[in-house]
Structure 1
Amino acid sequence: MRDYYRPLVRSDAPRPKDALPLAGGPRWFSHVARHRRDGSVTRIHASEIPEAALARLTTPRAPLLGLDMRQPQIMAILNVTPDSFSDGGLDGSSTEAALRGRRLMTDGADLLDIGGESTRPGAEDVAPGEEISRTEPVIRALAGVPISIDTRKMAVAKAAIRAGAALVNDVSGLTHDPALADFCVENALPVCIMHSQGDPQTMQDAPRYDDVLLDVYDFLEEQVEMLEAKGLSRDKIVVDPGIGFGKTQAHNLALLNGLALFHGLGCPILLGVSRKGFVGRIGDAPDPKKRAPGSIAVALAGIAQGVQIFRVHDVAETRQAIALWQAVEQGAGHDA
C-alpha cells in the first residue's frame, strides 16, 4: 500500500536539532503525517520516510518569474470577462483593464493572472478567438509586468506569450487541450497545473472522491510527471489543488486542512480561494465583494502550511494581512 507524507509544518523557535526546512523556506518540520488509502493517518518522525520523498519536501523551490519562493507571493486576479462571478464586466476597454492591472501592482501584487474566459460553476465555453481578443491587448498594454495567462487553450496561450505573458495557468490541469502541454514544453514555459473534476458547466454536479486529498495529489503528480517526461523541468511547474473546482464544501475544507501534503510534489503550491462560495457560506457573506476577510483568513492558514503563491482579488488587504502575520511571527523588526 502506498504511503503519502504530509509534513506537520511549524515555524516556532527555537528549532529542535532534527528540524528540516520545508521547501527551502522559513518553515520547518520534524514529523510527518503518513496517509494511506485505507484511511489511516499515522504520525511518524521525518527520518522514517524514504530519501526521495524527503528530498522533495525539503529542496528549495527555484524562483518563479524572478519571484522568491521562500516568501508568500501575491498573484492578482485580472479577469477581462463580462461574466466572472466576482469581477466580470468591470472594464469598458482593454485600456481600462490595463489601468486596473497597474493599480493592482501598485497595491502590492507580485504578478497578474489575466483571464478571458469565466470558469465559474455553470460558465459556457468561450471561443479561442474571442478569448484572445479579450486578453491579448491587455497583456500588450501591461508590458514589463509579470503576467500569467489563465487559459485552457493552446491558441490563447500562444497569443498571450507572444504579447508578453510568461506563465500558463490552466484550470483543467492540461486536460482540456492536449496541445497546450506540448506548447509549454517546447517553449520551456512555467506552467501551473490545477486540479478540477469536470468542466465549469458540470463540475459542481455532485462531485465525488474516494479520498479527496489523495485523489487530487495523484492527479497533480501524474500531470507533473507527464510534463517532466516530455522535457519540462520540475522547477518550472506550480501545482494548485483547485479549491472550488468540482468540490463540495467538505472537499474544500479537507484539502485546505491537508495542503502541506502537496509539498511532496517538489513544486511551489498556488492557492486560489479568494471570494469563493464556501467563504461566503461559512462567513455569512452572500455578496462576493464582501468576502475579503474570510478569503484572507484562509490565505493565512495557507501561509502557515508553507504555500508560496496566493491568487487573490483583494490585493492591498491581503498584502497588509501578510505583513502583519510575518511581523508577529518574527516578533521583531517593527517600531511600536
Structure 2
Amino acid sequence: MPVDNIQKAKSKGLLQTQRQNSAGMITSRYDSDTEGQLPAPFRSKLHHLFGQIEKEFETLYTENLHLQDKVETLQERLDAYMAVDKSISEPLETVDGATKAKRSASHISQKIKKSYIASTSRLVSSFRQAAPAYTVVKSFHGHKDGVWEVNTSKLNPQIIGTASADHSARIWNVETGLCLLQYLGHAGSVNAIRFNPVKDRVVTTSGEGTAHIWSPQVSISSMDALRAQSSEDDLDMSDQCETNEENPDQPTTLRTPLRELIGHHSVVIAADWLNFGGQAITASWDRTAILFDAETGANLTVLKGHDQELTDVRAHPSQDLVVTSSKDTTFRLWDFRDPNMPVTVFQGHNQ
C-alpha cells in the first residue's frame, strides 16, 4: 500500500475516533443528573429545554459529518482530476488546455467552499429569531390584565371592543388606537363582548354569573352626542358616564348597564345576539345556555343537555339557529324555527 494511502487511512480513523469522543462528550454533558436547589418543575423544564438543544446539536452534528465526508470525497476527486489533467496537459503544452484545467479546478473548489459555509452557518442561523411574516400596524394599550376577546362592530367598522380579566370592557377607535369608553359595570372578569348587529348595543359576559347590555356609543368631546344616540326608553346616561375634564384624552367611564341578564349559577363565558338583535343568548359553566329578551331582560328559554361546562355560543346571522360548544367534547345545534326546538348533537372530538 502506498504511503499516502496509509496516511489517509490513519487520518480518517483518527477523525472518526475524535467524532465518537465528541459525540460522547455532548451526550454525557446533559445525561448526568445534577442535584440543585431549583424546584422540581423548574428542573424538569430545564431538562426539557436542554433535551431540545441536544437534539438540535445532534442533528446538525450528523449533517456536518456527512458534509465533511462529501468534502473529503470531492477533495480526493479534485486531486485525482488535477493529477490526470496535469499528465495530459503537460505533453500538449497548450495554453487553452491549462486554462481549462485551472477553471475546472477553481469551479470545484468554489463548490466545496459554498457547501462548507452553508453547513457551518446553519448552526448559527438555527438559533437566530426568524423575521416575522407580519407587520404590527397598531397596538392598543390600556387593559391591566389578560384580554379574553376582541370583536368588531358591524354598524361602525371604525370601533372595536375588548373584554378583559381586569373586570372591564373597552371600546377603541381603530384609526387612532385611542380608548373611547371603558365599561366598569361588572364585578368579575369580562369574558366576552359581542356587538348587536342592528343597534348601538353591546352584550358582555362576566365571571360573576351575569351578562350586561350597554351602549358603546360615546362622544369624548361632548355628552350631548351620547344623549342624542340613546333612545327614549334607555336610562339617563348622564348618571352613568363619567368624563375626565382635566384630561380629555382619558376614556369616558360607564358603570351602569341598560339591561342586566340574570339566571345563571356560574361563570357566563360567552354570549351572542339572536333574532336580528332582539334576543341575547348566553353560555355558562353551569352547563346551560339561556335565551333572553334583549329589551326587557326576561328569561325566555333555558337550553339544557350538555354534560360539562359550556365554552362558547354562536347564533346564525339571519336564521334562528344557535350552536353551543362544551367541555364534554360535543357541540349542539339548536333550531328555534321549529316550536319543538329539535337539537342535533355533533360528536367526534375527544377533548
Q: For this structure pair, what is the TM-score category when the shorter chain's length is used for normalisation?
A: under 0.3
TM-score by length of 1: 0.20
> Could you say which structure has the larger radius of gyration?
2
Q: Of Structure 1 and Structure 2, which has the larger fraction of its residues in strand?
A: 2
Q: Of Structure 1 and Structure 2, which has the larger fraction of its residues in helix?
A: 1
Structure with the larger RCO, 1 or 2 (CA within 8 Å, 6+ apart): 1
